[in-house]
């Protein structure tokens, strides 16, 4: 897909993307953050705003990353990074942990994705029907089970192909699940009429954004 002449704009950094998502998470929500950039969101939620972070491996109430000399070798998250447990946190086994997900108890999950379609379909676990060894982990449970699914990802692939598409070409993680997307170029909602643009990177025009997006974009109504 040809990209229109580039205007002078500044994409959001990953930190800014994480900050945008963090700003939209209110106190009291139970939230699962996917492996990768979504994990960074926790760094931008102040500790006195009580958001309870969940990890698939049975940890509820994850706190800030541990200092190097205070690592607890039995305490990891789903990305197998060392974490801490804040006061009020708890442990449970895997079936209870996924009951929190599948039973609709999580207010929010934020995942990375390869593609999101303007009907909310998400593809984030395999890039081919014949993946050598596909690894789904908990992505399908989270996408189908959390009350809200947001996506945090780059707006296009490294070679410039759109990731916000009319129809996912990669194997689906879940149909019609995504409600909001934070990219390095924009924040968008998935609505009945498709993608609505809530915010754009400084200096980027609506036309510039559309040129980098396969599906049709809408101004908020």
Q: Which is nearest to 3 in space by CA: 112, 161, 124, 111? A: 161
For residue 152, state whether it binds other proteins (rule: CB under 8 A). Answer: no
Cβ proximity to other proteins: between 5 and 74 the closer is 74
Task: Report the C-alpha gap between 174 and 106 in whole angstroms.
Answer: 17
56: annotated active-site residue: yes
Distances (CA, A) of 139 to 35, 143, 184: 10, 6, 22
Nearer to other proteins, 67 or 129 (CB): 129
Confirm or reject binding of residue 146 to other proteins (CB under 8 A): no
> Which residue, 130 or 219, is less far from other proteins as judged by CB?
130
Per CB under 8 A, does 91 bind other proteins?
yes
Should residue 66 be labelled a site residue for other proteins when binding is judged by CB under 8 A? no
Among 76, 86, 184, 191, binds other proteins (CB under 8 A): 76
Work out the burial of residue 140: count CB atoms within 10 Å of its CB; fewer than 13 is exposed, 13-18 middle, 19 or more buried.
Answer: middle
Q: Confirm or reject binding of residue 97 to other proteins (CB under 8 A).
A: yes
Rule CB under 8 A: say whether 32 interacts with other proteins.
no
Phi and psi (nearest 5°) for 18? Answer: -65, -40
Cβ-contact 210, 18 below 8 angstroms = no
- Catalytic annotation, pick one of 50, 56, 196, 214: 56
Which listed range, 11-19, 171-179, 194-202, 212-220, lies at the site for other proteins (CB under 8 A)? 171-179
Residue found under tokens 């945090």? 152
Give the count of alpha carbons within 13 A of 71, CB side only. 8
Report, as residue numbers or ranges, the catalytic residues.
56
Summarize as ranges the residues that interact with other proteins (CB under 8 A).
Answer: 55-59, 72-76, 78, 80, 85, 91-95, 97-98, 101-102, 129, 132-141, 144-145, 171-176
């Amino acid at each position: 897909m040809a990209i229109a002449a580039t205007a002078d704009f500044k994409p959001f950094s990953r930190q800014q993307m994480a900050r945008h998502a963090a700003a939209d998470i209110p106190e009291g929500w139970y939230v699962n953050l996917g492996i990768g950039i979504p994990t960074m969101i926790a760094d931008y939620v102040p500790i006195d705003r009580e958001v309870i972070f969940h990890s698939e491996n049975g940890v509820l109430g994850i706190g800030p990353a541990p200092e190097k000399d205070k690592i607890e070798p039995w305490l990891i998250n789903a990305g197998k990074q060392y974490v801490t447990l804040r006061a009020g946190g708890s442990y449970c086994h895997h079936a209870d942990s996924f009951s929190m997900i599948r039973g609709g108890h999580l207010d929010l999950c934020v995942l990375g994705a390869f593609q999101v379609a303007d009907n909310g379909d998400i593809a984030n676990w395999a890039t081919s029907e014949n993946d050598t060894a596909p690894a789904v982990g908990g992505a399908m449970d989270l996408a189908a089970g959390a009350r809200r699914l947001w996506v945090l990802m780059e707006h296009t692939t490294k070679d410039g192909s759109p990731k916000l598409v009319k129809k996912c070409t990669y194997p689906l993680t879940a149909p019609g699940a995504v409600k909001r997307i934070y990219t390095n170029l924009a924040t968008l909602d998935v609505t009945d009429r498709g993608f609505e643009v809530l915010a754009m990177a400084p200096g980027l025009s609506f036309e510039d954004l559309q040129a980098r997006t396969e599906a049709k974009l809408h101004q908020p109504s």
